[in-house]
Each structure stands twice: as structure tokens, then as C-alpha cells.
Amino acid sequence: MAPGDPAPPIGEAEAAMVDALFTQSPVGLHLLDTDLRVVRINTATSAMRGVTPESLIGHRFADAYDIIDGDRHEAAVRAVLETGVPLRERLVRARRKGGTAPPGYYAMSVFRLDNPRGEVLGLALSVVDVTPRERALERLRVLDMVRDRVGRTMDSVVTCDELVGTLVPGYAEGAVVELVDAVLRGDDPPLSPLPKGVPLLRAAFRNSRGPDQPQAHPVGAVLSLPGPTPFTQALSDLRPRVIALDADPPWMSTDPVRAEAILASGACSLMVVPLALRGSILGLVSLYRGRYLEPYDEDDIELALQLADHTALCIDNGRRFTREHTIASTVQRHLMPHRPASHTALETAYVPTATNGAGSWYDTIPLSGARTAMVIGNVAGHGIHATATMGQLRTVIRSLAAFEQPPDELLARLNDTATLLAAERASLPTGDPLHREALTAACVYAVYDPLTRMCTIARSGHLAPVVVRPDGTAEIPDIPAGPPLGVTSGAPFTTSDIVLEEGSILALSSSPVVAAHLAGHPGLLGRRPETGSPDTGRHTGRPLADLCDDLLYSLPEGLAGRAGALLLTRTRPFPADRVASWHLEPDPAAVSAARHHAGEQLAAWGIEGDIVFNTELIVSELVTNAIRHGAPPLALRLINDRTLTCEVRDAGPAAPRLRHARTVDEGGRGLFITAQLAQAWGTRYDADGKTIWTEQSLPPGRPS
């Protein structure tokens, strides 16, 4: 049209445009009358392939289109007819008329048509096929959900269950995860291709039809995969596969058990995806779809690879955690005593809980004079590094205890070692993860003397003992807390002395919350076995192992997971007839008297043989040494316990020194002879002087 020519009539142009839209536009156009019957449709859209206009024109909206949830969408269309308010980009799921493919996604817009007089003529619908876009968004949503929900724990089996729970029923109607059995034990996964005969464990299964849906093998079953099948091939070349199950694939005869379960489930499409990491095979994911979801295609393979990568990484993290935990637990088990040693005047019981950290430890150390040292401690952190540090600190405690160090001095020396270890850790390269993990530890060290019933305790950090008296009352003793081990060099520690009545229980826990719980519920260690009700004093007759169970059963659910290690010790009387003591005069004649006392006492105890001569010689040398180099008062004590203990006490501060006398020397051999005759010997100090002691093994079968 040349400039200046008159414009064509508006009605003619509109009619031409409408004809072009309904015959040439790729956008689906639909014209409905006021009764929602189809009047005209666009014949040029891809949706009309295989569909004749006559099969739709004249039919009502709900009958003409196979729309999912059609009643709800028809109500929305009718509202446009009644109100005139347009409906834009409404997402609708519908099947193509006469087609067998799964439903697609369509963006539907609806507008009311009015004539110039305001009369309603009908509705205009525009429909755009957005199935590819929605399918891509759906895959992204699935990927986001898997990344958010899968791998929240370090348990590989839980990770597998999280995966199938996320994918079913939205992305798959059935899902199976099978893992290489060795992976669940923390072993290194095999390299691809998977060697023949390697067993796989069925770790997780989920089906949209519910748990009663038949499956080839139950969850937990361990078996090798027969081949060749798509499952074994995927584990060989690490390439995912999409298989149509509408025919009768030849590989099904190779694995008839699995084939029967697949056919019984009604699956039409299968996608097999290997779980692999750095060329190593962790397992396999099998996803099934039936008639309710569209068959898997190449776009699904790309998504499945991303899902498998995320899941494999989470499973491998769980495998590494399991391996490190297994190693740490094994090392911890070999670094700690298998069970606490009970002594004549002390009954002990230890409970290592399932959630006990790798850095928790305990010990019961026999000391001279029928005394026992009790230790509970905890190193911050987890894994093999915490276990190794625990082993180092326990060894240091054992060594220091052998030198009769009092509790406060022992913790001070232990803190020096922990500070040194912390400095070594801090000097590691900055790229080492251990460099950023501070070394701290807490410890309680207690020494109980059954002959005086005195318990001397020192502690560092947040741990505290609990004392349960025979009358059922419980308390956390007021013991000054020293700083955590490894934080401050040269930190001071103090001790507290507590008299423990016979039948008292001293509870040591590596978790302070357990100590507070026990102190607030003293009846936990005094329950009647028959009724379970608190009973003052009844705990003195029950086995400590039962009391440990009672305490753990009583812990609240949130507290039980932090129970840590628990050591219970119960005092009992030391037999008075197995201890004998004499005061000695600071005179050389006292040597003969001391030797005579020792001989008579051994005879009264029924001890015979060479040990009698050795004991008399040891007594003679120790008393002579105390008279010459010590200070009054002097005392001799014999203890018939797990060993025969001989003690000579004096008030002098000078420590004896073992030396090798020369051939021409007339003296200096006494302590050397004593050390040769005794199994162990040593010196311990207190405010009033020192005690030199020896221990000898008693002959087997002696009278008790």
C-alpha cells in the first residue's frame, strides 16, 4: 500500500489476521462459545498431528481435551467467562488426543471475547507446549532435592535410603541401590571393571506402590550379579544405560530372579547408573518407570550422572569415616585395658558406650600399699588422631604413677606433655587439617587408700567425679578444677582429700552431663532389682555392672548419645588380719626385732619357702637404711594383698639411691640386694616423711 492510500476496512484486516493465526501460527489457538464448546482450533500446531478438527469441534472443553485434573481447570476457564478477568500462563498437564505418550505440560491463557455492545461471544484460548522447559526444570528440582537431602550423615546405608526416598515417586516409580559389600566395611573400592564374583549388598529399595511390592532380593542381601546384563555392563565400563522393557530383552534369562521382579512391578523403562569415584566402583543405582511416568531418555542420563556423582561422593565420605572409625576403635581397644582390675578393697566396672568418642579413656592402676589409682579422661576431637593422643597421655600417666607422684603433681607433669604435643601439632604445615585442630584434654586422677579410706583427687578441665554414699546420698565433691590439659604450660593443680566410707561408690565419667545427671538422681545407683524403685543403701549389694546399666537406661534420649565412658568403683573393707605394723626404735637392735616380727607374721599368714628368707633380708636392709640415713619415728608394715608388700617409714627427707658398690667397699649394697630380691620397689613421700616399699610375688595356692 502506497503512502496516502486509504486504510482497508478494520473488519477485513481482522478477519485476515484471525485466519492466518488459525491456519499458520505455531501457537495453539482455540475458540470456545459461551457453553465452552470448541468452535474453531488452530490446525497448524504440532499438537494437531494425527488429530482431525472434526474430532474436537463441537465438543465441550472437558470432553475435547484429556486434561489432568480437568474439573479444576474447567472451573478456572468458566470463571473467565463469568468475570472477564483474563487467565494467563496457567500450567496444565494434558495428554494429546488419541496419543499414548505420557502427559505433557502446557501454558494456557484464556481471554473473554465481547462485541461492541458488551455481549459475551465466547472465549479465546492460547496454548503453548512447555513440556521441554518443565521437564528441564523438574530435573533441576530433583537435582536440588538430592543435593539437599542426600548425604546428611556419614552412614552409607542411610545415604542410599535418602536417595531412593528422594527419587520415588516423583522421578522414579522404583529405585534400588546396591553397594559393593567391602565399601560398607570401609575398605577401598575395587577399580573398574568390577571383578567377577565381587559381592554387592542391596542397601536400599523404594517403590511407589508401597513396601509390599515384590523385589528380587530383600534389603540387606549380599550376592554377586550374574552377567552379562545391563547391570554388570554398567559396572564394567561405568556408562549409564537406558533400557526399554516393553519387549522381552534377551538378558533377562541371565538373571531370571531380577527379571521376574521387574515384570511383576509393571516397569516399562529402566535406567542403570554406576556409582563410581575416580575410577573405583562403589555400587549401582537402578531406576524404574512404569506407565505413570514418561520413559527415560538421554536428558535423564545427564541428570542421573550428576545424581550418581553426588551420591558416590557422600558414600565415599561415609566409607572413609567408617574406615577411620574402625581403625580408631581398634587402636583404642588395644590401648586401653580390656576390663578394669578389681582389687581386695575396691570393686570396679567400666561401660564403654556405643557413642564413646575415640579420645575417651580410663585406667585403674595398682599402687603400693594396697592403693589404687583411678583415671578417666577425654581428648577433644575424633578419629585416629584423638586416639593416638589418648594413648600417649595414658602411657604418660602410667609412667608417672609408677614414680608415686601425687595427683596434683602428676597432672602438672601430664599437662607439660600435653602442651608439648599441642605445640608439635601447631607447628604442622598450615595445609594439614590437624594444624587447625587445637589439642585439649580433660582428666580426673584419684588415688584411694583402703587402709585409711582416704581418696585424694585432682582434676583438669570440665570432668568431675560423683560420690554416692552408702546411705544413697550423692554429691559432686568440691574439687578445684585445673585448666584443660595442653592449654597453659606450668598451670597449677590442687588436690582434695575425701574420706570414702566402706560401700561408697565413686563414679567417673568422661561426660560432665552424666556426672550432673547422676548427682541430681542419686537413686539411680540404689534401685531395688525387683521393683526398680529407689532404695537407700541397697546399691551396696548389687553388682556394679547392673548399676551401670541402670544409670545408662535412665539417661534422657538426648543425653544418652553423649554418655561417653563411665567408670564405677565401690569401696569395700580391707581385711584387718592381712595388715601388720610395728613401731621401731631408732636403734641398731631394732633390726633384729623387725626381722623377728616379719618372720612370725609370715608364719601366721601361712607363707613359707624362700620368700620368708627374702622378706627377712629385705626388712633388715630397709630398717638399717632408715636408722642410718633417716629420722625417727620409724615404722614397719607388712601387707598381704595381691603381692606381699613390705614398707619401712621414717621422717627423713633424704631419698635412697640405688648404686653399684665397688669390690673394696664395705657397704652400699643394701638397696641393690633389696632391688634384686623384690619384684618392685620405690619411695613415696607425704607431709610427715617418706616410705620405702617393696613388693614380692606370693607363691601360688597360698592361704587367703
pLDDT per position as a tens digit, 232-266: 999 999 999 998 887 677 888 888 888 888 888 88
In the prediction, which pLDDT does 640 show? Answer: 93
C-alpha cell at 230: 545391563
Domain residues for the domain of 373 are 338-571
Residues with pLDDT less than 70, the chain:
1-14, 17, 20, 23-24, 43-55, 64, 96-102, 211-212, 247, 338, 352-358, 519-541, 557-564, 657-670, 701-704
Between CA 571 and CA 37 the distance in angstroms is 95
Is the domain of 314 the same as that of 424?
A: no
Asked if 225 and 193 count as a contact pair (C-beta separation under 8 A), the reply is no
The dihedrals phi and psi of 128, each to the nearest 5 degrees, come to: -120, 130
Is the domain of 165 the same as that of 268?
A: yes
| DSSP 8-state code for residue 658 | -
Q: Which of 104, 129, 154 is the last residue of a domain?
A: 129
DSSP assignment of 174-223: EEEEEEEHHHHTTPPPPBSSPPTT--EEEEEEEETT-TTS--SS-TT-EE
Name residues whose C-beta falls within 8 Å of residue 20's C-beta, 6 or more positions apart in sequence.
Answer: none
In the prediction, which pLDDT does 663 show? Answer: 44
Is the domain of 395 the same as that of 443?
A: yes
Is the domain of 288 the same as that of 404?
A: no
Is the domain of 230 the same as that of 245?
A: yes
Model confidence, pTM: 0.68
CA angle 239–241–242, rounded 5-degree value:
160
Q: Which of 106, 129, 152 is the last residue of a domain?
A: 129
3-state secondary structure 25-93: CCCEEEEECCCCEEEEECCCCHHHCCCCHHHCCCCEHHHHCEECCHHHHHHHHHHHHHHCCCEEEEEEE
| DSSP 8-state code for residue 622 | H
Does residue 68 lie within any of the structural domains? yes
Between CA 414 and CA 399 the distance in angstroms is 10
Residue 560 exposure: Cα atoms within 13 Å on the Cβ side: 11
Write the CA distances from 125 to 29, 118, 122, integer angstroms.
6, 20, 10
Is the domain of 546 the same as that of 470?
A: yes
Give the residue among 43, 46, 44, 78 at the shortest CA–CA distance from 60.
Answer: 78
Does residue 516 lie within any of the structural domains? yes
Give the residue among 326, 372, 327 at the shortest CA–CA distance from 345.
Answer: 372
Q: Which of 298, 324, 350 is the last residue of a domain?
A: 324
Q: H or E element: which one contains 676? A: helix 670-677
In the prediction, which pLDDT does 232 show? Answer: 92
CATH of the domain at 301: 3.30.450.40
Does residue 479 lie within any of the structural domains? yes
Tens digit of each residue's pLDDT (9 = 90 or more) over 140-166: 898 899 999 999 998 999 999 999 999
Please name the amino acid found at residue 224.
S
Is the domain of 115 the same as that of 207?
A: no
- Give the CA dihedral 400, 405, 409, 413, nearest 10 degrees: -10
Give the residue among 528, 576, 413, 402 at the shortest CA–CA distance from 482.
Answer: 413
CATH of the domain at 27: 3.30.450.20
Give the residue among 392, 358, 364, 367 at the shortest CA–CA distance from 376.
Answer: 364
C-alpha cell at 626: 632408715
Between CA 427 and CA 421 the distance in angstroms is 10
